Amino acid sequence: MQFHVMTLFPEMIAQGLANSITGRALREKLISLNCVNIRDYSDNRHGKVDDYSYGGGAGMLIQAEPVYQCYQNLLSQIPDGHKKRVIYVTPQGRPFCQEIAEELVKNDDLIFLCGHYEGVDERVLEEIVTDYVSIGDYVLTGGELPAMVMIDTIARLVDGVLGNDASAEIESFHGKLLEYPQFTRPEVWHDKAVPSVLLSGDAARIRSWRIKESIQRTRERREDLYRDYCRLVQLEEILLRHKREYADLLNLLELGYGEIVCWDRNVILMRDRRDQASYFAHPTGDTFIRDIATEDPVKEAESPVSFLKKQGLIREQDRPGIRRFIMHDTDDINEAKQLAKLLGLTEVRRTRLLVYTPRERPANARIRALREKLKDKVSPEMIAFIEEGITSGLMEGLRPVYYLDEEDPFPVGDLESFGIYAAKGPVLLLQ
């Protein structure tokens, strides 16, 4: 990933990011940093880039032309086809958070514009900026510190930047919980001992203790995150009553990447924060609705298209970057095609959700025997799921799931004896 910063103080950015993890990532060329001085594009022999604001008022404003010329020069250095975003760091922007970092890291190039004085001429902002982002409701002397904060956060998500790739996934804010307390040697310091459970060597007890401490810390320090966590837990409890039908949504919650976009009495829309895939549970007439709406009379669930339009999530002209859209408990193929058209998707497949139900890995001999029995009966993708998908899913603590196309055979006797069951209800997969 390449970071570009348009600034009046390039040395401040370069020196600040040359240390620690970002410094090592720069040296190993896992990321690159290009700091450009806006003054280099001034038509003033003294490098002056600011002027008084029309209409009066205190302070000076950065002029549009030097910023625009700086930006054009940067564009000429970025290869065609690269995904890029231009971020103006300003208190008026949307608050920066981990979700935004995960969204921005999917780009090839990120260009940061650091303001100074009273800001930047609005006209050039309208012309080049794609995102307005803030690190908090306070005023700094310039945008350099916010840019460094964002670059540090985003860089950590780039493959290989952290020594242990798992570290990025278990840090604070993952799964809506703050990180648990941590301790190192000595075992006793200032008469304070390391909790005995951490010395027990019992992985299950340690995991349970950490989860409990994370929940307690989040409740005490971040009520907003704790409310979001409680909402996810409530949804998980409902989904667990229908764990075969919604194994994919449960996996998303357990990984900590499930984001509830909308949840009303009849419909759930959840998004995977990693790839923006969306999962739509639309369980008309099912007991699932009665679990959600225990007090109100059950009404007929509205169509996915009308629901998304009502929530303002799609409009006719929108083309959101949704790669997959998975509709549960609806067999209306025409509705799915209409939704696919609105979302700019081209393919609609009618599928069944297969779930491997045991919680332990099957023996190699059983896998080989099933593979031999099915090798001419099912698709190579299904064989790969049996050989690799089940094992990798269980290793991550998930329920292994597979989307079986409607036309693909499903040898019920062989697969169910192995522990693979087809969930009730149809699934439509939009891509």
Ranges of residues in the chain whose predicted pLDDT is under 50:
166, 170-173, 295-298
Residues 191 and 290 in one domain: no
pLDDT in tens, 240-277: 888 888 999 988 888 878 888 888 767 788 888 777 78
Residues 212 and 245 in one domain: no
- What total of structural domains would you count in the chain? 3
What is the largest distance, in Å, between two alpha-carbon atoms of the chain? 83
Residues 306 and 401 in one domain: yes
Q: Report whether 101 contacts 154 (CB < 8 A).
A: yes
Residue 6's φ and ψ, nearest 5 degrees, are -95, 115
Residues 156 and 193 in one domain: no
Predicted local distance difference test score (pLDDT) of residue 290? 61
Residues 117 and 211 in one domain: no
Does the predicted TM-score (pTM) go above 0.85? Answer: no
**What residue numbers does the annotated binding site for S-adenosyl-L-methionine cover?**
115, 135-140
Place of tokens 């608050």: 95
Predicted local distance difference test score (pLDDT) of residue 321? 57
pLDDT in tens, 36-83: 999 999 998 888 999 998 988 778 999 999 999 999 999 999 999 999
Orientation of helix 20-27 relative to helix 144-155, angle to 10°: 70
Predicted local distance difference test score (pLDDT) of residue 36? 97
Residues 212 and 75 in one domain: no
Residues 268 and 371 in one domain: yes
CATH number of the domain that residue 24 is part of? 3.40.1280.10
Residues 215 and 135 in one domain: no
Predicted local distance difference test score (pLDDT) of residue 174? 52
Residues 160 and 203 in one domain: no
Domain that holds residue 292: 230-430
CA 403 to CA 431: how far, in whole Å? 13
Residues 154 and 242 in one domain: no
Orientation of helix 203-221 relative to helix 223-240, angle to 10°: 130
Predicted local distance difference test score (pLDDT) of residue 298? 44
**What residue numbers does the annotated binding site cover?**
115, 135-140
Predicted local distance difference test score (pLDDT) of residue 297? 45
Residues 35 and 144 in one domain: yes
Predicted local distance difference test score (pLDDT) of residue 193? 96
